[in-house]
């Protein structure tokens, strides 16, 4: 697989998380910041390699082979993110772009040794699960903070938006993985949420609340 092909496979995987049918060519083009015609050409190439099912005007979905390949790419990406944060002291908003490059390293032996060196982490620095060497992902029960009810308590276990801008904003708020949050009040007018964080009341916007995952206590 070329680097570009791997990027497309990963994009389709992320766009079809719920596995509810095909992903449209336009959706893939938007994700890859590419032209629809370029996506069509790539889908034909990937179909020839039996990693996607593709039909003109009906979009594409990963084959079992494609899903397995995507899981390997994601595994490498998230292990490298964990390594960069835990061992090289990068902040969680710095690692995505670096991991985008490192995920294309082909050596499976290196990745298995990296996994063992890191003591087999289950999640990356953003709370996303790391697939095991067989591509299996352990699902964790979680809800968006925006869906939590008044007086519920939860631990921050992940983010929906892992962009650098959002992660830096969370740092300013003092919100990070492992923090306990109590929902004090949800404002009906604008869906903002008053929370208790580290013993202090903090108001967060609906947009922010809709991008933080909690595990309810």
**Across 39-177, where does the E strand assignment appear?**
52-55, 59-62, 143-144, 153-159
- Predicted pLDDT at 140: 83
CATH number, domain containing residue 166: 2.30.30.90
- Predicted pLDDT at 65: 95
- 38, 62, 86 - which closes a domain: 62
Quick one: which of 13, 28, 5 has its CA closest to 74?
13
Looking at every residue in the chain, the average pLDDT score rounds to 94
- Predicted pLDDT at 139: 83
- 21, 45, 62 - which closes a domain: 62
CATH number, domain containing residue 51: 1.10.10.10
Q: Is pLDDT at 10 greater than 70 in this prediction? A: yes
Mind listing the pLDDT tens digit for each residue in 58-78? 999 999 999 999 999 999 999
Give the model's confidence band at 112: pLDDT under 50 very low, under 70 low, under 90 confident, else very high. Answer: very high
Specify if 171 maps to a domain.
Answer: yes
Mean of the pLDDT values across residues 32-43?
A: 94
Mean of the pLDDT values across residues 176-180?
A: 96
Cα 76 to Cα 89: distance, rounded to the nearest angstrom? 18
- 44, 62, 80 - which closes a domain: 62
Mean of the pLDDT values across residues 149-164?
A: 95
Specify if 196 maps to a domain.
Answer: yes
Are the C-beta atoms of residues 42 and 8 closer than 8 Å to each other?
Answer: yes
Structural domain count of the chain: 2
Cα 8 to Cα 45: distance, rounded to the nearest angstrom? 11
Task: Please give the torsion angle defined by the CA atoms of residues 165, 167, 169 and 174, in that order, rounded to the nearest 10 degrees.
Answer: -170
Q: What is the pTM of this model?
A: 0.87
Mind listing the pLDDT tens digit for each residue in 131-153? 999 999 888 899 999 999 999 99
Residue 191 domain boundaries? 143-216
Q: Is pLDDT at 18 greater than 70 in this prediction? A: no
- Predicted pLDDT at 103: 96
Q: Which helix (H) or strand (E) holds 208?
A: helix 206-209
Mind listing the pLDDT tens digit for each residue in 184-202? 999 999 999 999 999 999 9
Specify if 19 maps to a domain.
Answer: yes
- Predicted pLDDT at 193: 97
């Amino acid at each position: 697989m070329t680097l570009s092909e791997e990027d497309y496979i990963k994009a389709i995987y992320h766009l079809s998380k719920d596995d509810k049918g095909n992903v449209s060519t336009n959706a893939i083009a938007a994700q890859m910041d590419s032209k629809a015609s370029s996506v069509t050409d790539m889908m034909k190439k990937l179909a020839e390699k039996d990693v996607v099912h593709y039909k003109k005007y009906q979009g594409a979905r990963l084959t079992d082979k494609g899903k397995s390949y995507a899981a390997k790419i994601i595994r490498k990406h998230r292990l490298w993110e964990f390594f960069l944060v835990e061992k090289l002291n990068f902040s969680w908003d710095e690692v995505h772009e670096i991991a985008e490059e490192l995920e294309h390293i082909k050596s499976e032996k290196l990745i298995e040794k990296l996994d063992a060196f890191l003591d087999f982490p289950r999640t990356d620095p953003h709370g996303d699960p790391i697939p095991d060497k067989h591509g299996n992902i352990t699902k964790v029960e979680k809800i968006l903070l925006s869906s939590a009810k008044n007086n519920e308590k939860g631990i921050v276990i992940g983010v929906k938006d892992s962009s650098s801008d959002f992660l830096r904003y969370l740092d300013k708020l003092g919100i990070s993985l492992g923090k306990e949050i109590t929902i004090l009040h949800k404002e009906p007018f604008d869906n903002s949420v008053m929370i208790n964080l580290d013993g202090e009341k903090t108001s967060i916007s609906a947009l922010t609340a809709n991008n933080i995952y909690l595990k309810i206590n």
